Amino acid sequence: MITETIRKFVGRLFPARGPLRISQDKHGIDRRNVSRHAIKVCEVLRQHGFEAYIVGGAVRDLIVGIEPKDFDVATNATPEEIRPLFRRARIIGRRFQLVHVVFGQEIIETSTFRAPASVDQETDEHGRILRDNVFGSQAEDAARRDFTLNALYYDPLSEEVIDYHNGVADLKKRIVRMIGDPNKRYREDPVRMLRAVRFAAKLNGTIDPATREPIRTMAELIENVPASRLFDEMLKLLTCGHAMDCLRQLRAQGLHHGVLPLLDVVLEQPGGENFVELALERTDARVRAGKSISPSFLFAALLWQQVEVRWRQFSKGGEHTIPALIQAADSVLEEQTEKLAIQRRFSSDMREIWFMQPRFERRVGKTAYRMLEQPRLRAAVDFLQLRAAAGEFDSVLAQWWMDLANGDDITRAQMIDEASRAPRGREEEPAARRRRRPRRKPNGAPQQDSGE
- Which residue intervals of 112-151 are DSSP H helices? 138-144
**What 8-state DSSP symbol labels residue 360?**
G
Measure the CA–CA gap between 385 and 404, rounded to whole angstroms: 13
Q: State which H helix or E strand residue 107 sits in.
A: strand 106-112
Q: Considering 61, 141, 146, 163, which one is annotated as catalytic?
A: 146
| Adjacent-strand bridge partners of 446 | 440
- Which residue intervals of 52-166 are DSSP H helices? 57-64, 79-82, 138-144
Measure the CA–CA gap between 253 and 217, rounded to whole angstroms: 9
Measure the CA–CA gap between 162 and 236, rounded to whole angstroms: 26
Contacts of 236 (CB under 8 A, 6+ apart): 198
Q: Active site includes 146? A: yes
Nearest residue to 233 via CA among 250, 217, 213: 250
Measure the CA–CA gap between 380 and 384, rounded to whole angstroms: 6
Name the 3-class secondary structure at 49: coil
CB 263 within 8 A of CB 247: yes
Name the 3-class secondary structure at 264: helix
Q: How many CA atoms lie within 13 A of 395 on its CB side?
A: 3
CB 263 within 8 A of CB 256: yes
* Phi, psi of 156, deg, nearest 5: -70, -10
Q: Considering 72, 170, 208, 284, which one is annotated as catalytic?
A: 72
Q: Active site includes 70? A: yes
Measure the CA–CA gap between 225 and 250, rounded to whole angstroms: 16
Task: List active site positions.
Answer: 70, 72, 146
